[in-house]
A and B are shown apart, each in its own frame.
Chain A
Amino acid sequence: MSKPLIQIDDLVREMTDEEHAQYLEDIANAPSFPADPADA
């Protein structure tokens, strides 16, 4: 399964294992609004 893409300046590539681990941690800890805003 491919990993998410990271862009570093003009370079777009799959995340390394280390970057992916950080990404997953960021997603897990991402703050959010109590109710999803209407996507209108």
Chain B
Amino acid sequence: MPVPDFSPGETLTAAAMDSVGLWLVKTQAVGTGVSTIVVNDAFSANYDNYFVTYTGGSASATLNLSLRLGTVTTTEYYGNIIYALPNNPSAILGLSNNNSALWGFAGDGSATGGARLAVNLYNPFQVLRTGMSVAYMGTGSSGAPFGIYSGNHNLAISYTSFTIGTSTGTLTGGTVRVYGYRN
């Protein structure tokens, strides 16, 4: 399929719009002082894979943002984060979620650095195991971890929603955005 090349005033056809590779599915503004954010109607049969971001918000403390599919605590969340601190880059470190109730390193927040999350999800709506990959961006500076986190939800369940949690503290403001990758 060709790359879209639109002109000013052009009538967009279904074929042209269907060639757009990344589509904004949902935008969710975040309120004040919330500890948990549930985003419904995010996943559907329209897309197999999704990119979820949360930016522009503030955190009350240094925290990790977690991600859970749906809202109910289960087990079977697995993941590894490989990271280093800029002030000690020679030490490559790793941590795991092993059969956890959520993915624990989906994002980061700090009182002075804001809060950020960037997660790719693979097949959350399909009745398949859901894959996850994260670019973990610490919001601090020299002592903040930066790394790569990926994992698997080991249950073949169809989900339409997800939950962002905090390891401590609260979030205020910012926007959660859900994008679907064109199949």
Give A contacts to B, CB under 8 Å. 4-10, 12, 15, 19, 22-23, 25-27, 29-34, 36-40
- Give CA–CA (A32, B37) in the complex, Å: 20
| B104/A4 in contact, CB under 8 A | no
Give B contacts to A, CB under 8 Å. 28-40, 62, 64, 66, 73, 83, 85, 87, 93, 95, 97, 100-102, 104-105, 110-113, 138, 140-145, 165, 167-168, 170
- Give CA–CA (A7, B133) in the complex, Å: 24
- A29 and B101 in contact, given A7-B31, A23-B36, A37-B62 (Cβ under 8 angstroms): yes
| Secondary structure class of chain A's binding surface, majority of residues | loop
| A4/B35 in contact, CB under 8 A | yes
Collect the chain B residues with CB atoms within 8 Å of residue A6's CB: 34-38
Partner pick for A38 among B40, B143, B168, CB 8 A cutoff? B143
